[in-house]
Amino acid sequence: MNTNAADQYTGKMYFLIEMDHVKSGAVPTKETRREFIEGTILPTLALAERYAAEGKILAGGPVAGSVALRFIVETDSPQSLDHLLLSLPLWRISETRVTPLIAFGDRHAEVQAILQGLATDPIIDKAFGK
């Protein structure tokens, strides 16, 4: 299975997800820390573990030493990715970056086509100053 990019044969899409907790600046009390752990951290970890067991999260995990996650998601559509992310309690208080991934083979084929175009396309030659 190609787990690092979009799979044109199955319609699966792959994304790198980066979630970083945004600190509020307020000094947390013992009670607010407990509420954060019980209401956000533990439910987020439980859901992420479930998604990994279901094959929706292919790899990744919590970032050592910080309240952050990095993982690769496999989905059928951007809507299912959105649903997965919105279901994670950490999402409500995190900065989330989503990077779509493509297959190495797809990129290789595209670069090969560009290389072939260099030899036969005068417009590409002009773009490169020839």
46 is written with which tokens?
């439980």
**Does residue 97 sit within a domain?**
yes
Instruction: Tell me the whole-structure pTM to 2 decimals.
Output: 0.78
Residue 2, CA distances (Å) to 48, 63, 103, 126 in order: 21, 24, 7, 37
Q: Dump pLDDT digits (tens) for 11-61.
A: 789 999 999 999 888 888 999 999 999 999 999 999 999 999 999 999 999
Give the domain extent around 24.
13-102
- Within-domain flag for 76: yes
Sorted by sequence, the CB contacts under 8 Å of residue 103 that are 6+ apart come out as 2, 4, 5, 6, 7, 8
Q: For residue 126, what are its two tokens? A: 């002009």
CA–CA dist 6, 27 (Å, integer): 43
For residue 3, tell me if it sits in a domain. Answer: no
Any idea what the CATH number is for the domain that residue 75 is in? 3.30.70.1060
How many domains is the chain partitioned into structurally? 1
Instruction: Answer whether residue 69 is part of any domain.
Output: yes
